[in-house]
Amino acid sequence: MLINVYDFDGTIYPGDSSVDFYLYCRNRYPRVKRDVFGALPLLLALIVRKKDLTREKERFYRYLSFVPDAAAEAERFWSGQIALIKAWYLEQKREDDLIISASPEFLLTPVCRELGVRLIASKVDPKTGRYDGKNCHDEEKVRRMKEAYPEVEIDRFYSDSRADTPLAKLAREAFLVKGNDLSSFPR
């Protein structure tokens, strides 16, 4: 079965949903503000371009332990953010689209349900911030897609990041997204 596959953050959503959700929770829950050091390991890992960010992201997501019901907060968060989904995506969206993202599954489930599309994302416990498995990034995206949808072939793939080259290589056509501009994905 041929489908279109999309990255989420920076691709069909203009920002980083994990960072935006953190800021949203920081404004609603004062204890999240006090956990400033939770973000430092992730920032340092990004600076040194560490490939597997699972442990650093887990430290970042520990702020979720200060949010009484993060899954419910994610629902509320998207009620204000869904309008930011890029128009070019909404114009071509299909019911069989698949979003594959490194962001937490609990965070993207509400927006993907509203859009009526399927989702593969990082499995992060919304109560503790702990991962169940690896961060869904790079080759892990390919592995998870093949595991969940072994019959799928990618017709068109869209991402804002060259880290998604493994998925781009599987697509008949791949596009690099910068803002609202689409160009051929460098192979």
How far is residue 150's CA from residue 46's CA, in Å, rounded to a whole number?
32
Is residue 46 over pLDDT 80?
no
Q: What is the pLDDT of residues 88-109, one digit of tens each?
A: 999 999 999 999 999 999 999 9
How far is residue 70's CA from residue 63's CA, in Å, rounded to a whole number?
10
For residue 32, name the pLDDT band (cuts at 50, 70, 90). Answer: confident
CB 65 within 8 A of CB 85: no
User: Is 54 or 103 the better-scoring residue by pLDDT?
Assistant: 103
- pTM for the full predicted model: 0.92
The pLDDT of residue 47 is 45
CATH assignment at residue 45: 3.40.50.1000
Is residue 42 over pLDDT 70?
no
Which range marks the domain in which residue 116 is found? 2-184
CB 9 within 8 A of CB 18: yes
* The one-letter amino acid at 38: G
The pLDDT of residue 115 is 98
Sheet holding 181-184, edge to edge: 118-122, 98-104, 2-6, 153-159, 173-178, 181-184
Is residue 65 over pLDDT 80?
yes
- Any idea what the Cα angle at residue 93 is, between residues 23 and 4, rounded to 5°? 100
Is residue 126 over pLDDT 50?
yes
Is residue 49 over pLDDT 60?
no
β-strand partners of 157: 5, 174
- Averaged pLDDT of the chain: 92
The pLDDT of residue 168 is 98
CB 67 within 8 A of CB 87: no
Q: What percent of the chain has pLDDT over 70?
A: 90
Is residue 151 over pLDDT 60?
yes
For residue 54, name the pLDDT band (cuts at 50, 70, 90). Answer: confident
How far is residue 103's CA from residue 88's CA, in Å, rounded to a whole number?
21
The pLDDT of residue 106 is 99
Query: Using CA atoms in the order 157, 160, 165, 169, what is the torsion angle rounded to 10 degrees?
Result: 20
The pLDDT of residue 185 is 96
Q: What percent of the chain has pLDDT over 90?
A: 80
Helix or strand run (H / E) with residue 166? helix 165-170
Query: Using CA atoms in the order 145, 149, 150, 153, what is the torsion angle rounded to 10 degrees?
Result: -80
How far is residue 71's CA from residue 147's CA, in Å, rounded to a whole number?
25
Domains of the chain: total:
1
CB 131 within 8 A of CB 42: no
CB 152 within 8 A of CB 1: yes
Averaged pLDDT, 26-47: 69
